[in-house]
Amino acid sequence: MEIRLARVADADGIWTLLQPVFRAGDTYAIDPEISRDAALAYWMDLPAAAYVVTQAGAIVGTYYIKTNQQGGGNHVCNCGYIVGNAARGQGLAAQMCEASQEQALALGYEAMQFNFVLASNAGALRLWHRLGFETVGLIPKAFKHPSLGLVAAHVMFKWLRAT
């Protein structure tokens, strides 16, 4: 497994991961009908950095790091992660999150915040808690899940710098 900065040439591989997740509409607050170009701009162009995870030359995961708020909040970053179906269950999300924390520090961020982790995404909640994130807020009925109806969203936070 290799984690590296995403390149323009990775766009097709990244879209292969983004498309089914965004179309499902059950984990990301993204329009399920988002176009390929808009999705790639959201994932690759707007963040401070985007990464891919490769195994045997194939892109099996991707994530981004971006500034969560501007101005006085610009020391806190936000990340989004996607693992392809074929690579699930191998600990890849944990490895990506751990790598992203190191990369966030290298980019000058001091903390990481997840703004919208759905209560229905039990696996992500367990993982983020295990990796030291704490739920600092709960937004009731924040997301219209396609099969579960209205579900809550957790705001999660982790300080990255030693205090």
pLDDT in tens, 69-89: 999 999 999 999 999 988 888
CA proximity to 42, closest of 16, 80, 97, 4: 80
Mean pLDDT of 103-107: 97
Mean pLDDT of 51-60: 94
Distance of CA 52 to the CA centre of its chain: 12
Domains of the chain: total: 1
For residue 118, give the CATH number of its domain: 3.40.630.30
pLDDT band per the 50, 70, 90 thresholds, residue 36: very high
pTM (predicted TM-score): 0.93
Range of the domain at 64: 2-159
Q: Per-residue pLDDT for 163 more than 70?
A: no
pLDDT band per the 50, 70, 90 thresholds, residue 45: very high
More confident residue, 87 or 63: 63
Mean pLDDT of 24-38: 96
Q: Per-residue pLDDT for 5 more than 70?
A: yes
93 DSSP assignment: H
Mean pLDDT of 116-139: 97
* Residues 87 and 54 sit within 8 Å (Cβ to Cβ): no
Give the chain's mean pLDDT.
95
